Structure 1
Amino acid sequence: MIFRVLGPQPGARKPATLLAVLLLHANAWVSLDELIEHIWQEQDVPPSAGHNVRTYVWQWRRALPPGRIDTRSRTYRLRVEPGDTDADVARDLLDRAARGPAAQAVEPLTAALDLWRGRPFAELRHEVAAPEAARLDDLRWEVRERLADAWTALGRHGEAIAVLRALIAEDPLREGAWARLVRALSRAGRRANALVEYRRVCDLLAAELGVAPGPELLRARREVAA
């Protein structure tokens, strides 16, 4: 059984939101009142809310393997084992890619990226899921950086550069993506472009953060000059 946290849950919104809440608090007890708060959010809570939640739990009990949802007085718990979520699968694929040669890394990294279907815990308010969503966003970022590394190692510089430019567009203050872009351009025979990008990030860091380039960017610059 693979639970989806890397995008919207399948099915109707309210049962999907219930499952998302239980997954966010996997293996912990969640009160009926908390479930009602998340499911109805800014809406008026109907008198039937408690009954509706029990119906959604019953529906998920029928859909999931036996013993996954526990119940006690006005609280519920979803049992989730290691490897049960698509996020766990993505981490395993990332680890598999790291253990092998670059020529074999593209396939698992691409498979990991394909697991994202949208915003993690999409049914929940941003502030509710923000810490866990941020960790999953960092995981996706690392997968994409590693994919760029694999493309670069294979001499597929166009693919690497495309991935890195997309990363930089999303978060232009992360030096790692810039350092990789400088290396990829240099190894593609575009040394002048690599130096232009290096100067761009130096100017950006100085203007936005008041800092000089860090060790990784400096190493990439030295590689261009070598």
Structure 2
Amino acid sequence: MDVDVDGSRGGDPGGDRAPGAGRSGDEGLGLRERKKRLTYQAVSDAAIAMFLERGFDRVSVAEVAAAAGVSKPTLFRYFPAKEDLALHRFADHEDESARVVAARAATESPLDALRRNFLDGLARRDPVTGLCDVPEVLAYQRMLYAAPSLVARMASYRSRSEAALAAALGDRLRDRLAAGQINAVLNILALENWRRMDAGERADQVYGEAVEAAGLAFVQLRDGLGGCG
């Protein structure tokens, strides 16, 4: 399950959204870019608050625009679709696996790099691993899974993530097959962790089992993928 709650990139089809909008730090941004970033964040905050309170399907784009103090055309320049208002926080994770593989040391295999990254996420209780029991994070994730249109849109994020990872591996047929298997395993691990958090278990209590499950998963991947391990 690819989810982050810290705010990150969204759609920017016309270049009207501030570069780095939703990321921490204003260093290097001019006044115009800062204003864009503030608008982007205001719209995002208003949308998420309303979705959490009433449910994604019960809030209109017009209501979000009004709450954020912008027009609908302005809102759509920042977020091309209603679903992007809820899911833009996934965007920085779309190519995370690909970036991990590309940035690994020459002596480290792709699977070892991805395993290290996932274990580090578990240790940090990164929401993308599912092992996060912060109430606000759990509420956000429940909101996502309650809306069919958001579930469908998340599948497109995973598809792009898989394509990016395949390209980082070499983009041969075997690389595309490997990327599909790796992404499936990461999603299953995260979903299992999230389900346990959603059932009321605590992240600290589940951590050891989550690490063990990740270890087993990557051993199975290595056994099955051979040359990519």
TM-score range relative to shorter protein:
0.3 to 0.5
What TM-score, normalized to structure 1? 0.33
Q: Relative contact order (alpha carbons < 8 A, sep ≥ 6): 1 or 2 greater?
A: 2
Q: Compare the two structures and name the one with the higher helix fraction.
A: 2
Bigger radius of gyration: 1
Q: Compare the two structures and name the one with the higher strand fraction.
A: 1
